[in-house]
Amino acid sequence: MTQVQEEQRRYALAISGGVCEACGKPLVDGHMQAAHRIGNTKMNRAKYGSFVIDHRYNVGYTCSLACNASLDISGEPDAVMRLCAEIYTKEAHILRC
């Protein structure tokens, strides 16, 4: 696990309260799945950039593959745009402060 992945994991656990974001079951260390909301595909990386794909807002933690899949918003353009806006607003705010 890279340092960035470790930080993402700690952040996700902190905001999720240690439970699966999709079903609410407790997350078991070593078995949890990092779920990308905008899918981690070559096409999405080309379209939205690694900045968005790897951003902590784009990653949720889930207990299983089924719950992992339920977080995917790749097919919902409105939800994708809202998430991108949230990420850019958050980062722009950090840069201003």
Residue with tokens 């402060």: 97
Residue closer to Zn ion by CB (options 20, 52) is 20
Three-state SS at 74: coil
Structure tokens at 59: 């990653």
- CB nearer to Zn ion: pick between 27 and 87: 27
Tell me how far, at minimum, the Cβ of 71 lies from Zn ion, in Å.
Answer: 10
Residues that bind Zn ion (CB under 5 A): 20, 22-23, 25, 62-63, 67
- What are the tokens at 31? 């078995």
Distance in Å, CB of 97 to Zn ion, minimum:
35
Name the phi and psi angles at 36, rounded to 5.
-85, 130
